[in-house]
């Protein structure tokens, strides 16, 4: 699931608090996402640490989910990301 980002969310990431703030906004607005299930998100970054894309790559059970490296890196390559942040929630 590709998340549409606002221009305010395409920020230059300087620390984990900045990523947390953006992810909190996304999770609050996405009502269709099952909140009692395990999620794996990737945040694709440009070379200057600006957020290019945020995508949900796996939605699992209550306490587990499965991801494959190909899922993660395929999206990163398609989005031309130089850096990745993987988020488990």
Least confident segment among 34-43, 64-73, 80-89? 34-43
Distant-in-sequence contacts of 18-26, Cβ < 8 A, 24+ apart:
19/43, 19/85, 19/87, 22/51, 22/54, 23/54, 23/87, 23/89, 26/54
Assigned CATH topology for domain 16-88? Cytidine Deaminase; domain 2 (3.40.140)
Return the domain boundaries, the chain.
Answer: 16-88
Q: Is the full-model pTM beyond 0.75?
A: yes
Separation of alpha carbons 32 and 7, rounded Å: 22
Separation of alpha carbons 31 and 67, rounded Å: 23
pLDDT one-digit tens code per residue, 10-45? 788 999 998 999 888 888 776 666 677 888 999 999
């Amino acid at each position: 699931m590709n998340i549409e980002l606002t221009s305010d969310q395409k920020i230059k990431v300087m620390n984990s608090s900045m990523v947390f703030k953006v992810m909190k906004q996304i999770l609050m607005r996405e009502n269709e996402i099952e909140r009692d299930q395990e999620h794996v998100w990737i945040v694709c970054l440009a070379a200057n640490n600006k957020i290019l894309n945020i995508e949900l790559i796996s939605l699992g059970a209550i306490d587990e989910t499965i991801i494959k490296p190909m899922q993660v890196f395929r999206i990163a390559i398609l989005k031309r990301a130089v850096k990745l942040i993987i988020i488990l929630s």
